[in-house]
Copies of this chain bind each other. A is one copy, B any other.
């Protein structure tokens, strides 16, 4: 069985981690699939996906700050749109995550949440969720 769903979100800052774990859980409930794997894929090239801590919001802000230090907004880039840092960060964190689905529930560690990683917002964004299994 295969279930597809597109999540829409609106980011509010240039760089921001948005916790979409609740939306991801909802796609599982709708799918009727109980065992398999869920893939969540950013449909953009200046925004990625990651899994990280959900307890202390300073974790996400520290990760974003360090990414900004490593890949500054202004640098000796050639791309005329001025967002080569965003493209670089998307490739570094990756465009998608996968989460196991076992007995009807997503397998996430105690502190894990699924984050949409905005690197060139604020914008309207889409995440394609695919669940394959039985």
Q: Is A14 an interface residue (CB 8 A)?
A: no
Give the size range of A's interface with the partner: 35 or more
- List, in ascending order, chain B residues with CB within 8 A of A37's CB: 37, 39, 130, 132
Copies of this chain, complex-wide, total 3
- List, in ascending order, chain B residues with CB within 8 A of A97's CB: 95-96
**Residue of B at shortest CB range from A129?**
B100
Q: Is A128 an interface residue (CB 8 A)?
A: yes
- List, in ascending order, chain B residues with CB within 8 A of A79's CB: 56, 58-59, 62
The contact of A128 among B77, B91, B107, by CB within 8 Å, is B107
Please state if A45 and B112 are interface contacts (CB–CB under 8 Å): yes
Q: Is A123 an interface residue (CB 8 A)?
A: no
CB<8 Å pairs between A and B, sample of 5: A41-B100, A41-B107, A51-B95, A132-B132, A132-B133
Interface residues of A (CB under 8 A from B): 1-2, 4, 35-37, 39, 41-45, 50-53, 56, 58-59, 61-63, 65-67, 70-71, 75-81, 84-85, 87-88, 90-102, 107-109, 111-112, 126, 128, 130, 132-134
